[in-house]
């Protein structure tokens, strides 16, 4: 990423100290992502295309903030945060495929299968998911025990009760409540991002339970707000194909009429944000993770959700 873009990030973040902090963190994460992904071969080019496209890096930021809140050095959590972002990007690449949600736009650019073909996009997704585990295994600043813990946490988030299940339920393969779907699609990786940060900081076991609650509640809030955004925003503003969820069970469609659905989804998100903030305040010095809930609320307000 060029320094100009980094400066633009920070400038746009405005005067709020936390927002500037996040913008600078995002810059550090993006520089490291660029270093971690090789160049060479179409699959890695397609992976770079998806991974380095403009994005909020929210899950990666969550990992670093969880490490900070648990008293760990942010540098130690950086590669793990990048691994979390790689897992997330892999899930977007897969979910956008024609065989899945068949989306044309993501992160403000055409989806990778539109640019590189379905086969290369699938290989890019595999490479990103697999590469995340490789990055964790090679995270020199962590002990082998910490790396193993992070691998386990990430694998659980992706697996049969995480992203894989969430996407299957979302595609209507099986019965699941809206919370089951949202937890699988989003909450599971938010939980993993928080726990991975705690693992990097060598956090005490007592920190884990509130972090699980925090990740889950923040994920459910985020998904509800994302459903609202999907409903009200244009593709250009959302940076991705919207209204692909018209026939799905989303937070908005739970209501019987669209506007009632929108209001219900917003109040649903609000409840989850409050629960997240409450859980965060129980973890060591709660301030960074509480501030993140405020930041997410503000972000969605800004884009109209």
Binding footprint of a copy of itself on the chain (CB under 8 A): 38, 40-44, 94, 97, 99-100, 117-120, 122-123, 125-127, 129-131, 133-134, 136-138, 143-145, 147-149, 151-152, 154-156, 158-160, 163-165, 167-168, 171, 173-174
Q: For residue 210, give the nearest of 66, 71, 65 by alpha carbon.
A: 66
Shortest reach from residue 304's CB to a copy of itself, in Å: 31
Quote the distance between the C-alpha of residue 21 and its chain's center: 18
Query: Helix, strand, or coil here: 80?
Result: helix
Shortest reach from residue 207's CB to a copy of itself, in Å: 20
Residue 221 makes CB contacts below 8 A (sequence gap 6+) with 269, 270, 272, 273, 276, 293, 296
Cβ-based nearer residue to a copy of itself, 145 or 267: 145
Cβ-based nearer residue to a copy of itself, 43 or 210: 43
Shortest reach from residue 277's CB to a copy of itself, in Å: 31
Cβ-based nearer residue to a copy of itself, 5 or 99: 99
Shortest reach from residue 185's CB to a copy of itself, in Å: 12
Cβ-based nearer residue to a copy of itself, 41 or 54: 41
How many other β-carbons are positioned within 10 Å of the β-carbon of residue 39?
A: 8
Residue 91 makes CB contacts below 8 A (sequence gap 6+) with 158, 163, 167, 189
Residue 172 makes CB contacts below 8 A (sequence gap 6+) with 248
Cβ-based nearer residue to a copy of itself, 90 or 265: 90
Contact 84/219 with Cβ under 8 angstroms?
no
Shortest reach from residue 225's CB to a copy of itself, in Å: 25
């Amino acid at each position: 990423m060029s320094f100009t873009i980094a400066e633009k990030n920070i400038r746009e973040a405005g005067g709020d100290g936390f927002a500037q902090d996040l913008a600078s963190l995002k810059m550090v994460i993006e520089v490291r992502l660029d270093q971690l992904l090789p160049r060479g071969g179409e699959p890695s080019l397609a992976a770079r295309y998806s991974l380095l496209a403009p994005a909020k890096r929210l899950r990666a930021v969550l990992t670093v903030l969880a490490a900070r809140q648990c008293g760990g050095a942010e540098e130690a959590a950086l590669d793990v945060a990048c691994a979390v972002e790689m897992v997330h990007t892999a899930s977007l690449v897969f979910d956008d495929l024609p065989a899945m949600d068949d989306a044309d736009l993501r992160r403000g650019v055409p989806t990778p299968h539109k640019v590189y073909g379905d086969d290369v996009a699938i290989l890019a997704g595999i490479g990103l998911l697999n590469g995340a585990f490789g990055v964790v295994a090679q995270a020199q600043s962590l002990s082998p025990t910490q790396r193993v813990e992070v691998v386990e946490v990430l694998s659980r988030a992706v697996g049969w009760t995480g992203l894989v299940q969430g996407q299957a339920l979302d595609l209507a393969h099986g019965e699941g409540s809206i919370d089951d779907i949202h937890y699988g699609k989003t909450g599971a990786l938010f939980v993993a991002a928080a726990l991975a940060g705690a693992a990097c900081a060598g956090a005490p076991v007592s920190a884990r339970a509130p972090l699980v609650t925090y990740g889950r509640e923040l994920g459910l809030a985020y998904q509800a707000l994302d459903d609202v955004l999907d409903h009200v925003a244009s593709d250009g503003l959302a940076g991705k194909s919207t209204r692909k969820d018209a026939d799905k069970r989303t937070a908005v469609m739970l209501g019987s009429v669209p506007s009632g659905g929108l209001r219900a989804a917003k109040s649903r998100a609000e409840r989850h944000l409050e629960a997240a903030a409450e859980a965060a305040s129980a973890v060591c010095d709660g301030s960074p993770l509480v501030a993140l809930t405020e930041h997410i609320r503000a972000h969605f307000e800004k884009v109209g959700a």
